[in-house]
Amino acid sequence: MNAIIQTQALTKVYGSNGTAVHALRGIDFSVQKGEFVALIGPSGSGKSTLMAILGCLDLPTAGTYTLDGHQVQGLAGGELARIRNEKVGFVFQSYNLLPKASIARNVELPMLYAGVGRRERRERAMALLEKVGIADKADKLPATLSGGQKQRVAVARALANAPALLLADEPTGALDSKTGAEVLQLFHELHQQGNTIVLVTHDPSIAAQAERRVEIRDGLIATSEGAA
């Protein structure tokens, strides 16, 4: 079995009673090892909610989620954090870099949590910064980088623990179209190297470049097309 992601009847309700928001209403979704899937759909349809659950940043209200063979639903906070750090690399639209830590240090952080020794952390961080094309910025602070450079750092950090799954929520959303295309090219290269990628985008031209497109509407999967 080569499923990295498998969800069944995944449900997420925010709030309760009168103020409840049914963000996900029964999502059956699977992603096989090595796939590159684009998640699309209108604003408020539940894409980020689904990504947060897939990335073990949040838990579903009901339903099941199996990530690389591990049951995720019902995990306690500490276990959820551990599986997230081990299995998932997450890239956000807003980069989410630590402003006071150097670029190299930002990339090292997930390895620090994973208990990797100092020397190996540094070596792996430098190799990853090399891979995303900004090793020369290793000792700089995030504020001194352009948006595209910051997103490359975020991608390097996401890859720090060689995750089974790379998730990206609008990774080009804050970038101009040329820089966005360069960052997307990086995702293509990572896909060719065997990484499993799920990427949220509003941009049809970006979605068209994925192997498969899955559309979410009102908390449900509306359509899925492309190679299965």
Ligand X SMILES: Nc1ncnc2c1ncn2[C@@H]1O[C@H](COP(=O)(O)OP(=O)(O)OP(=O)(O)O)[C@@H](O)[C@H]1O
Q: What is the DSSP string of 68-101?
A: TTEE-TT--HHHHHHHHHHHEEEEETT----TTS
Which is closer to ligand X, CB of 35 or CB of 215?
A: 215
Q: Tell me the C-alpha to C-alpha distance, in Å, between residue 55 and each of 16, 40, 83, 159.
A: 24, 17, 9, 14
| Residue 45 binds Mg ion, judged by CB under 5 A | no
Shortest gap between Cβ of 200 and ligand X (angstroms)? 7
Measured distance CA(223)–CA(167) in Å, rounded: 20
Site pattern 4..43 for Mg ion (x: CB under 5 A): ----------------------------------------
**48 near Mg ion (CB under 5 A):** yes
Q: Which residues of 153-167 are buried (b: 16+ CB within 10 A; e: fewer)?
A: bbbbbbbbbebbbbb
**Smallest separation (angstroms) from ligand X to the CB of 66:** 21
Smallest distance, ligand X to C-beta of residue 181, A: 20
Dihedral angle sign, alpha carbons of residues 195, 200, 206, 210: positive
Nearer to Mg ion, 47 or 121 (CB): 47
Smallest distance, ligand X to C-beta of residue 173, A: 9
| Shorter beta-carbon distance to ligand X: residue 23 or 111 | 23
Distance, CA of 94 to CA of 193 (rounded, Å): 25
d(CA 87, CA 74): 17
Residues at the site binding ligand X, with contacts judged by CB under 6 A: 14-15, 21, 23, 41, 43-49
The count of other CB atoms within 10 Å of the CB of residue 115 is 8
Report the partner that residue 43 touches, choosing among ligand X, Mg ion, none (CB closer than 5 to 8 A by kind).
ligand X
Say which entry of ligand X, Mg ion, none residue 193 contacts (CB below 5 to 8 A, set by partner kind): none
Residue type, 184: L
> CB 126 → ligand X: shortest distance, Å?
34
Distance CA 163, CA 131 (A): 16
Part in contact with Mg ion (CB under 5 A); list of ranges 33-41, 45-53, 120-128, 178-186: 45-53
Residue numbers of the site for Mg ion (CB under 5 A)?
47-48
